[in-house]
Amino acid sequence: MKKIILFAIIAIFLLATPGTVFAAKPDTNLAGAQKVAWNLSRAVMPDPPYGSLDILGSDTASKLIVNQPNGATEVTITGAMNGLNPNTTYTVYLSNGYTPYQITGWSLNGNWTLGFNSTLWPSGNPYVHTLSVTGNTANGASTGNTYTATISITGDSVTIVATYLSGSAVYPYRYIAIGNISSAGTISGTWTDTMGDSGTWNSLSGNAIKTYTGNTGWSGLFTGTVALFTFVTDVYGAGSWHVNLRDADFPGGPGTYTLSVWINEAGRTMLISDNFQVK
């Protein structure tokens, strides 16, 4: 009996001793689950075309869990989806990583035609101006007179300060036009000048172009052997899916990969995950 007790104590000691061959996980264990955030498509891609099928609240109601266990499975990815449309088929795309789209401002570069409506001389409305813009400066002309202008943009607001050139019939003369840029890139607003005139103005041709950083669209399908699949929600708009990726599922074999998950309904993207790395 004493020998049996002694052997049991030795066995317990060996199992509990750090660094022995009985350790369950190596020191480089990556098995801890990582929760990756979902985003509505319009939150990280340009709207339009993204955002048409977004469902408010589905990004926070749904969960994406990434786990990198030890062993043959390189990564497990689980989606617990909620707040979606009931009884609907969704497609899951395992995709490359991406850089979120972010508007940095507007560019007015190019040729414009502007129409100015005068309060003092309405018979000539609209007075047509041509404007050639490069960066923050422009050259303009109206009713045979020429001028230079400075352009300043803050958010969706634009200010044009024009000074007519020496030799113009109305020299010295200056006007200030303040306007707002629409989502379509057209401009309209009000103006005043040094002769006491004022009125409204708008762009007749030309378009402001959004400046941005990041991707403007899908970053492309993950090129491993598992790429896309579908799941169906229940009557409450809930559904789940799970995928295991092994080393053989990754192009080029083991390494460090940046992935994201995109969820589509009826061919349109409505949820996009944050990027996550698989090592």
Beta bridge partners of 228: 93
Which carries the bigger pLDDT value, residue 245 or residue 111?
A: 111
Q: How far apart are CA 134 and CA 30, in angstroms?
A: 53
Domains of the chain: 30-101+215-278 (2.60.40), 104-213 (2.40.128)
pTM above 0.85, yes or no: no
Contact 36, 64 (CB under 8 A): yes
Q: How far apart are CA 82 and CA 77, in angstroms?
A: 16
Look at residues 152, 153, 156, 151 and name the one whose alpha carbon lies nearest to residue 138. Answer: 151
Q: How far apart are CA 66 and CA 271, in angstroms?
A: 16
Q: How far apart are CA 222 and CA 143, in angstroms?
A: 59
What's the pLDDT score for residue 17? Answer: 37
Q: What's the chain's average pLDDT?
A: 88
Q: How far apart are CA 179 and CA 84, in angstroms?
A: 40
Q: What is the pLDDT of residues 266-279, one digit of tens each?
A: 999 999 999 999 88
Q: What is the pLDDT of residues 14-35, one digit of tens each?
A: 333 333 333 233 334 445 789 9
Contact 112, 203 (CB under 8 A): yes
